[in-house]
Amino acid sequence: MLEFSVCGRSLCGIGKDAKGQNMIVMWNLAEVERGMLTVTAKAHTDVDVIAAALDPVDSARLVTCGHDNVQLWRVRDGSLRCCSVSLRGGQKRAGISDVCYKTTKETAAGVTIYVSCLSGEVVRIDPDLAAVTSVQSLRSDPSLVESRRPSSCISITAMAASASLFATTSTDGFLRFWMPDFSRVLIEVEHEEPLLQVVFTQDGHRALVSTAVGSLAIVDVATDSYRTLLRAHTDEVLDMAVSEDLLGTVSADGTIRIWSLETSQQLYDFSISGEVPCNISFRSSSSEFACGFLSGRVTVFSVPQAKALTELKQLRGQITGLAYCAGHEGTLCYCDQFGTITLYRTSGTGYRLIRGLPNAVYRHLELAPNALVVSRNGSHIACVGPSEYVVTVMDTAALNEVLRIDVSSVKLPSGAPYPALDTAQQVAFLTSASSHELLVATSGSRLLRFDAWSGKLLAQLQPVHTGACTAVIASVDGRYVLTAGDNCIKVWDSSLRTNVIPQMFIGHSSRINSLCFTADGASLVSAGDSVFYWSFVRSREQKSLDSNDVYRKPELQSNAASLSVHHLIDDIPCRDISTSLNTRTAELITRQGNQRPVTPQNFRQAFEQKEEKEEGKQFSVPKAKKHFKKAMKQSSLAQRRYTALAGQAGLKLNSVIGFNGNSRNNVVWHPETGLFIYTSGCVAIVEDLKDGTQRHLMGHVEEISTMALQHDCQVLVSASGSSGAAACSQMCIWDMQSLACRTVLSQHRTDVQSLDFCLDDRFLLSVGNYQDPKIIIWSTYDWTVTMTTHASYPVHTALWNPFRSCEFMTVGEQGRMTFWLLEENHSNRTLAQLSMHEPDVPDELLYNKLGNVVHFTSACYISDKHLCLGTSSGRLALWDTTTNICIMHWIADESEIGVITGRSERLVTGSQNRLCLWDAAGLTQLSDSSQTLPKVAVSGDMELEGYVTTANFDSALVMGIVGTDTGTLWYINWSENVHIRLVSSHRDKVTALVRCPGNGFITSSKDGSIRVWTLASRELTMQFEVAGQSCNCISLSPVNLDSVLMRPSPSKTQKWFPLLVAGYDNGSLRIFDLNKVEMIKKLVPHVASVTVVMFSDDGQAIISGTCKGNIAISSPLTGIVIKHINGQRGAAITSIDCMAASSAQFSNLPSVWLAASRDQRVSVWAADWPHDKCKLVDWLSFPSLADAEDAHFPSLAFFSPVDSSLIFYTGYGIQKAIQLYSLQQQQVVKSIALTDWAYSMDVSPNGNLIVCGTEGRLVKLIDVVEESFQDFTAHSDNVQCVSFSPDGTDILSAASNEVHQWHALLL
């Protein structure tokens, strides 16, 4: 935000610096007319700032306010100094909304500060005393000013002051002008929409008010008049169209607006509920326009009637191009994101469908809104498609193809091929009296001019823009070409001559979506973040655009040349493939012409020498499950960490329970050596399958996405994504002998999707995810980059050819696959070349039954000449790698194929809930010239839980280890047809964990399950699951309740489990008997979600709290609610603790318990459960912040295990600290500072140690006596659960679905 002083000599700016911290800067404007702008002072602040005001008397002073704070600032000695104003003089108020100054003679400073609140209060502050002098509540009825009924308060959103008036805006849409003492309302103006801001003019006679729908109005207080100054869209303008004196715009705010070009005033406003318009075009001879929407809907509107006339055929996806054809009255063309063009023509009073043409336009949303362009006479349309390398021209009579141009084959003026694979981005017609031409802007920053009849290249120009060209248009007379890109407009001579320097005009602050000339060609309209209306001035020497804030600079000159272009050849036909259910047969795909084998001698010629340059290209999130998608996490690793010196650590990571099913190919198993590695969160676990011992590779900050092991098992590479602590992804290189990290590679900006070592381990291949599909080849000699490029599609799988050196392949979205060849230069490694070839894909393989393009998700080389490929539709395809031709394909499953691994004549595939072993005898002898087909049959089939994400098998494909997205690792043995669970984990966040007798523990999760584990072996022993519910909390009965439940007592040798109670988000409690592995009782004491539950110390009662602050005490025997406690209603109950009383302070009652709520309140109770006694002992209210109830940090309170009169407490308070409160002394006896807010806490059995889990992903061990602490990192999210063992020798911690066991070295 920016704020000028009244004198105009100072400017205050408030924003965020590069690290995201709030910063305030003061500038001196005294010398600005001479080009000198100096910084007077600047400062950083940790408090939030929502409004600011400069002192009208002393411009060196200012005031800022946040939702819960008011800060006074002053410039002194070149620095900004701050003073906070305490607002806690009375009852708790709602959030602050605005602040302003008012000149007065009542204070020494000559001004008074007024602060408005959403609660309807106006706080008056004396700036000299930095103190509140009065608080007044504003109410809609003046007679209620002194009343205290909260229902009549005005919720103030903004406020301004003049010498004699106050103005306020409120949530009810009213603008009110008040007397100086707020005694009554002078003027009241009602609006239908919410108001954002109000400000007085310098004379105080008028006020300017802005609304949430983009309008700006002025109110004259003296004359009681109201006038709307302007209206505007409130979001990005996606497209526009011009028709004589009208301008139509569509915006992401969901509105369609019609403006007058003559007056620039809005005339009409259209909208359809739930729809977002994205394209607009006017019909030439009438006041009709058509509009396309993101949903695929197309509607025709009438401007004079101000209503919708008709609905046209709805397409499957977003409308990316829409245009009426001038000269062909009533002809309308539009296309969607899936490439379908539809042609309509008016017939009487309606529209008649002429033709629908699928797969005609390249499928990419970046083409919107200009995917279709129409020639000036309306006879032809042009588009990029059917691929990104082709521009197609069609007639508008029946969409018959007239011309097809391949822009990727256009060479440089010197005759040399263009160094990168160029693609078309924007197309426009250029029509003059003597020519009919086509303009094409490419991804290589080239502007090409073709003859629209013959396809001959007439001229080319480079570079046009640094980034992508978002719009191209020619002037009405055809003399000039205008391009949009890099947030600016450039004007070129239409001849594209090198000796004519273009002009550049700025004004837009973001992408320019559309350019359009008015009918007379005298004006240009540009749309993006806003709409600009330019005067187009023609001259013999140059052309220019006239605007008030235009900056011009010359561009570099470029050469032009005339070359012929080649038309694309038709796709090679192929035949369909028949399948059966169990025994699957396939037909060969026959192709016309002779195929030349791709041998090492001619491999270079077979591959096109073109590197795909796709850096900066944005892709949507892939729908394929195969693609790694980082789990949503709100936390980041703490920047400040205090770790112990070597040999002085208080904790040691002992074991990790769980497997990350969200990652892909994150399991390594080497049958010959027995090496077994898998990941959980940001830790890689090296486990000995013989004795179950673990060693841990810790070096990552974020969740590990994938891993790869060298063939000699000497080096492991693990990859994780970027975060606040790591600007780029991390690829850790581990020495498997010492388990030490050799180095960390950081080249990918986002997560790494795939890793693979080549056959001789000399190269490592890494591929980024869909956000940045960068392909990098690393030299394993010194871990430097050998080659890098960008894929033109999101890659799902990348792997080296295990039979041929320096060859690899990638498969990914939209049925794309590429074969790559790395050509080394042994004398100079920096001169290595990377060649690629993207083969033709049969339509039967490329499209599913619904006609949608499938995705290639998995691949495996099964011989030196054959590759097997899996698709998202469940098909398997066999490819000949010598000719890069698909030989056969068949339906293998009904769901996506996630994993393929094969050896010779056996093949294993993994999909959703299924693992298949295929007998593929004869596949490796098949070639594209074969006339007979082998049978492909399923010889083994296993049902697994979840989608298969990784698989490792021995050379005979008999034994293997398979992982699924449910967090489970399975041992597979095909010869015995068995699958055994090796590792288990929750599918969602762990919500609670408790210790159970013996060497075990119990966890609950948001996935609705409760799991009982054996700690020594990390095995899952039993599980309970409630479908569709989240289990939020659990508790074990502390004593044997056999006599209470009237069940036989276990024998001395029998293993005994206590009862377990669990709380769910539907308000229910369930009691489980772990000895019988069954649920014995269900209670419904609440209607809101249960957040915490606890057995009393004698097991006679169950105490439960909810997110609404209600507490219920229930009987585990009868299930009846004994007591409801509502004293803490309004704030979630986040902690309950019970123990036997050890002090006479509790009225000689044997039990004591407490409950803590999110608003920092703790109630302490004494009870005698057998006699139905429960008495309030103390009520504690710890200092809290204003937004404590909305914060996601819990209040945690526990009794000291050795003294029930001492309470350990931490919460979202004034300071980050753990406080020890004595019930006997009625005060805090000790406060231990924390560096981070605590999410979880537990106290050791002897009370000397505290363990905390923090939002910074730290496990913090604290010495209560010394008040010292140590931080330990191993989790990939905030640590929501921690627990000491009964003897205090180890600690369990949980974050996300990860559970870690730590050995405590300090006792």
Find where tokens 């369909």 sit. Answer: 576
How, if at all, do strands 675-680 and 1000-1005 pair?
A: unpaired
**Mean pLDDT computed over 393-403:** 90
- The model's pLDDT over 352-362, given as tens digits with 9 standing for 90+, comes to 888 888 889 99
Residue whose pair of structure tokens reads 């326009």 in the numeric block: 289
Predicted local confidence at residue 579, as pLDDT: 30
- Distance CA(188)–CA(185), nearest Å, equals 7
Of 595 and 919, which is predicted with more confidence?
Answer: 919
Least confident of 416-425, 551-560, 732-741: 551-560
- The per-residue pLDDT for 435 is 66
Tell me the mean pLDDT in the region 98-125. 86
What whole-number distance in Å separates Cα of residue 684 and Cα of residue 676?
10
What's the whole-number average pLDDT of the chain? 84
Per the model's pLDDT, the better-predicted residue between 103 and 855 turns out to be 855
Q: What is the structure's pLDDT at 596?
A: 40
Sign of CA dihedral 1016, 1017, 1018, 1024: negative
CA 271 to CA 253: how far, in whole Å?
10
CA geometry: angle 317, 321, 323, nearest 5 deg: 135
Question: Across residues 177-191, what is the average pLDDT?
Answer: 87
Residue 118 predicted with pLDDT over 90 = no
- pLDDT for 598: 45
380-384 vs 675-680, strand pairing mode = unpaired
Cis preceding-peptide flag for 56 (omega within 30 of 0) = no
Long-range contacts of 937-941 (CB under 8 A, 24+ apart): 937/582, 937/583, 937/584, 938/582, 938/583, 938/584, 940/916, 940/974, 940/977, 941/914, 941/915, 941/916, 941/917
Q: Which helix (H) or strand (E) holds 753?
A: strand 752-757
d(CA 810, CA 800): 9
Long-range Cβ contacts of 931-934 (<8 Å, 24+ apart): 931/588, 933/585, 933/586, 933/587, 933/588, 933/888
**Residues of the chain with pLDDT > 70: what percent?**
87
Helix (H) or strand (E) holding 1042: helix 1042-1045
Place of tokens 């000949």: 880
Supply the pLDDT for residue 642.
Answer: 86
pLDDT score for 1206: 93
Q: What is the pLDDT of residues 813-854, one digit of tens each?
A: 999 999 999 887 765 666 678 888 999 899 889 998 888 899
Kindly state the average pLDDT of the residues 1201-1222: 91
DSSP helix/strand/coil, 761: coil
- pLDDT tens by residue, 595-654: 444 444 434 433 333 444 445 567 889 989 999 988 888 788 888 888 887 778 889 999
DSSP state of 340: -
pLDDT in tens, 330-340: 789 999 988 89
Residues 6+ apart with CB under 8 A from 88: none
1096 confidence band (pLDDT: 50, 70, 90): very high
Residue 93, pLDDT score:
56
Q: What pLDDT sits at residue 952?
A: 94
772-781 long-range Cβ contacts below 8 angstroms, 24+ apart: 772/748, 773/614, 773/619, 773/812, 774/615, 774/747, 774/748, 774/749, 775/810, 775/820, 776/747, 776/748, 777/822, 777/834, 778/745, 779/829, 780/710, 780/715
| Residue type present at position 1094 | M
> Who has greater pLDDT, 1222 or 1192?
1222
Overall average pLDDT of the 272-283 stretch: 91
Task: Output the pLDDT for position 577.
Answer: 28
Tens of pLDDT, residue by residue over 344-380, are 988 766 888 888 888 899 988 888 898 999 988 888 9
Q: Which residues pair with 1002 in a beta bridge?
A: 994, 1012
The model's pLDDT over 718-733, given as tens digits with 9 standing for 90+, comes to: 999 877 544 688 999 9
Instruction: Report strand pairing: 1009-1014 vs 2-4.
Output: unpaired
Q: How far apart are the first and last CA of the chain?
A: 54
Contacts of 661 (CB under 8 A, 6+ apart): 946, 949, 963, 964, 965, 966, 967, 968, 985, 987
The 8-class DSSP code of residue 144 comes to: G
Give the pLDDT score at 550.
Answer: 29
Q: Which tens digit of pLDDT belongs to each residue from 198-237?
A: 999 888 889 999 988 888 899 988 888 888 888 889 889 9
- CA-based torsion, 830, 832, 834, 835: positive or negative: positive
Q: What does DSSP say about strands 307-311 and 319-324: parallel, antiparallel, or unpaired? A: unpaired
Q: Which helix (H) or strand (E) holds 139?
A: none
Buried b (16+ CB within 10 A) or exposed e, 1081-1095: bebebbeebbbbbbb
CB 770, CB 619: distance < 8 Å: yes
pLDDT of residue 893: 92
Q: Interior CA angle at 428 toward 424 and 430, to 5°? A: 135
Are 662 and 633 contacting, i.e. CB atoms less than 8 angstroms apart? Answer: no
496 pLDDT band (50/70/90 cuts)? Answer: confident
Burial 817-844 (b: 16+ CB within 10 A, else e): bbbbbbebeeeeeeebebbbbbeebbeb
Tell me the whole-structure pTM to 2 decimals: 0.58
Q: In 494-618, where do the E strands start and end?
A: 503-506, 514-517, 523-527, 531-537, 544-546, 583-585
From CA 1157, how far away is CA 1163, in angstroms rounded?
9
d(CA 968, CA 886): 35
* Higher pLDDT pick, 327 / 636: 636
Q: Where are the beta strands (DSSP E) in 924-967?
A: 935-953, 959-964
pLDDT at 88 over 80: no
- Using CA atoms, how far apart are residues 142 and 856, in angstroms rounded to an integer? 70
Q: What is the mean pLDDT of residues 776-790?
A: 91
Q: Quick check: helix, strand or coil at residue 127?
A: coil
pLDDT category at 554 given cuts 50, 70, 90 is very low
State the pLDDT at residue 1147. 72
- Of 163-172, 1066-1075, 1107-1116, the poorest mean pLDDT is in 163-172
Token reading at 50 = 């929502």
Angle, CA of 1270, 1276 and 1279, to the nearest 5°: 55
The proportion of the chain whose per-residue pLDDT surpasses 90, expressed as a percent, equals: 44
The pLDDT score that the predictor gives to residue 542 is 41
Confidence of residue 1086 (pLDDT cuts 50, 70, 90): very high
Q: What pairs with residue 818 in β-bridges?
A: 810
* Cα–Cα distance, 202 to 177 (Å, whole number): 16
Q: Which amino acid is it at 49?
A: V
pLDDT value at 863 more than 90: no
Number of H helices and E strands in the chain, helices first, is 3, 103
Mean pLDDT, to the nearest integer, of 873-902? 91
Kind and range of the H or E element at 606?
A: helix 603-606
Answer yes or no: is pLDDT of 1295 > 60.
yes
Query: Is a pLDDT exceeding 70 seen at residue 1161?
Result: yes
Give the residue-averaged pLDDT of 395-419.
81
pLDDT on residue 251: 93
